[in-house]
Each structure stands twice: as C-alpha cells, then as structure tokens.
C-alpha cells in the first residue's frame, strides 16, 4: 500500500484498486512476492528491525 503515498497522484492506486487488495485473504496480504524479497535487505525483512534498516527502500518516493 506504499503506492498510496506516491508523490505523483496518477501513480497512486484508485479506491477500487485498494478495495480489491483489502478483500484478499489475509495470507495473501502477508505474503511477499519474490520481487519484494529481493528488494529488501535481510535486516529490513526482520520483524522489529530498526527504522534505519529500511532507509534504502522506496527511494523513488524519497525524491520529493
């Protein structure tokens, strides 16, 4: 759902898109794709990791 905060409004999901995502079974919401896993460091994937572990994530959204 990080796309909801995209600085470019046309790149944000529509409300129907969000509704579709939220209607998925819980296990689908908690499952990471191979692409997601590859993008994150081991520390960033750790539950309870410090916020600094994710500083390099979503860099395209940090350019605003």
> pLDDT tens-digit profile of 43-62?
666 666 676 766 666 666 56
Q: Which domain holds residue 44?
A: 25-64
The answer as to whether 63 is a domain residue is: yes
The answer as to whether 19 is a domain residue is: no
The answer as to whether 17 is a domain residue is: no
Tokens representing 35 are 């692409």
The answer as to whether 43 is a domain residue is: yes
pTM: 0.42
The answer as to whether 8 is a domain residue is: no
The answer as to whether 14 is a domain residue is: no
The answer as to whether 46 is a domain residue is: yes
The answer as to whether 51 is a domain residue is: yes
Number of domains in the chain: 1
- Look at residue 14 in the predicted model and tell me its pLDDT: 95
Distance separating alpha carbons of residues 20 and 23, to the nearest angstrom: 5
Confidence of residue 19 (pLDDT cuts 50, 70, 90): very high
Burial state string for 1-22 with b = 16 or more CB within 10 A and e = fewer than 16? eeeeeeeeeeeeeeeeeeeeee
């Amino acid at each position: 759902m990080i796309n909801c905060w995209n600085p470019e409004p046309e790149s944000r999901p529509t409300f129907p898109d969000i509704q579709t995502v939220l209607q998925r079974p819980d296990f689908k919401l908690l499952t990471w794709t191979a692409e997601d896993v590859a993008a994150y460091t081991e520390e960033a994937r750790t539950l309870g990791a410090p916020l600094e572990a994710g500083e390099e994530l979503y860099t395209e959204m940090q350019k605003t």
